[in-house]
Structure 1
Amino acid sequence: MTLTDSLLGFAAIAALITVIPGTDTALVLRYTLSQGRRHAYTAALGMITGAFVWGAAAATGVSALLAVSEAAYDVLRIAGAAYMVWLGIGLWRASLARRDGELPPGALPHHSLEPLRKAWAKGLVSNLLNPKYGMFCVAVIPQFLVPGVPPVAMGLMLSVVANAEALIWFLAIVAAAQFFGRWLNGATFRKWIDRVTGTVLGAFGVVAVLELRRA
């Protein structure tokens, strides 16, 4: 397999994984509607940073240890599930504390905006504690390593391909959310998007725990 064949084949698989709705998509959509475009892009950057870490780890065999160590993988799954549940609870608490009458239509009060570094950190942790993405890297990236190309360099190149596709996807989500923002950006809708996103994140965490108990 040539380098070009490897990159194109991986791009096709990564594109399918990217468009499947998950926690990353939910967080970017939530940040777009409740915090604004800058926060959504910053959170997406954090996710992409985490994806680079997973890609490099898979290529060097670090992540492969998780694949053969059931205990290590279970710890990662529990940590990821707990983080998603924590995010979900936080979003529900924020939606219940927010009073519609205190918010002018289409605007959040300045004090409610998160620091950009916090949005980046949430995106990073969301990706790093996502065992499904990690196992995707473990299972797929080694299949596209090219003889003669250093594994770390190849893993990073494959990560660039996947992250470029993810960036395009996130840009499309942000653009679509902003296009419909005039209808979706009211205080009541932002409250409900927090609740829906919180429920989705919490559900992902609960399902992960239930799958672990059945294993």
Structure 2
Amino acid sequence: MLSLDMLLSLAAYAFVMTITPGPNNVLLLASGLAFGVRRTGWHLAGVLAGTWLMICLVGAGLGALFVTVPAAQTVLKLAGSGYMLWLAHQLWNAGALSAVDAQRPIRFFDAAVFQIVNPKVWVMATTVIAAFVPAGDQYVQRVVIAGLLFIAVAVPCITLWAAGGSLIRTWIHNPVTLRRINRVMALLAAATVVLFWL
């Protein structure tokens, strides 16, 4: 099993990586603003499930794919960039809250699958396995435990982003102000595309 020191180090790493801005947190902030925390719940759950699955897949050796097939990484970057730019376009064109409410938040499956093309999640998953899961006996159990601990730390961190958007929502009643905030969110979402190519 993982030592206490290793678990504490992993928890600290998970906190830093999930509280800081990235594609998921920008989208959760925007979703909290548009739909509130409750309606963003499936989006949150999809992010968590997809991230845990990515940690397990990297632990199973999927990370080696990029070493043997470098073009696979380029395909993922292009797919992730395209998806983020599409979402940024949706945010840019979002109008009043009543119009946004008629739309739907990102679904569980969509959020989970997005983790496959999210470069920050690849970095997190690869680091979790490389730095915190030693090879040897009970390797599979250690991968699962490391993934679960990472997700446990991530829950409050990413929920804060959705709650922040929801809090902003309660203060805004002016459609012009909302449009401006949506456009700032759109620019932030588009800017995260840079992370895909670093």
- Which band: TM-score by shorter chain? 0.7 to 0.9
Specify every segment of 5 or more residues in structure 1 that has no aligned partner in the other structure, as ranges.
101-106
Mapped to 2, the partners of 1:143 and 1:68 lie a distance apart of 21
Letter in 1 for 2:103: L
Q: Which moved more, 1:28-37 or 1:137-146?
A: 137-146
Mapped to 2, the partners of 1:37 and 1:31 lie a distance apart of 8
1:34-59 CA distance string (max 9 Å, x none) = 11222222211111111011111111
CA gap 1:177/1:5 in 2 versus in 1, 3 angstroms = same
Please list, as runs of the form range in 1=range in 2, the aligned pairs for 1:48-197 lying within 5 A after superposition.
Answer: 48-93=48-93, 95=94, 98=95, 100=96, 108=98, 112-114=102-104, 118-146=106-134, 147-151=136-140, 153-184=141-172, 186-197=174-185
How many aligned residue pairs are there? 197
CA gap 1:185/1:160 in 2 versus in 1, 3 angstroms = farther
Letter in 2 for 1:58: V
Partner of 2:13: 13
Deviation at 1:185, TM superposition (A): 5.2
Q: Which has the larger radius of gyration?
A: 1
Mapped to 1, the partners of 2:178 and 2:85 lie a distance apart of 20
State the TM-score, normalizing by the size of structure 1: 0.78
Q: Report if aligned partners of 1:35, 1:108 keep a CA contact under 8 Å in 2.
A: no
SS in 2 for 1:148: coil
SS in 1 for 2:188: helix
Q: Which of structure 1's runs of 4+ aligned residues deviate more than 6 A?
A: none
State the TM-score, normalizing by the size of structure 2: 0.84
Mapped to 1, the partners of 2:176 and 2:124 lie a distance apart of 37
Q: Report if aligned partners of 2:46, 2:111 keep a CA contact under 8 Å in 1.
A: yes
Q: Cα RMSD over matched residues?
A: 2.6
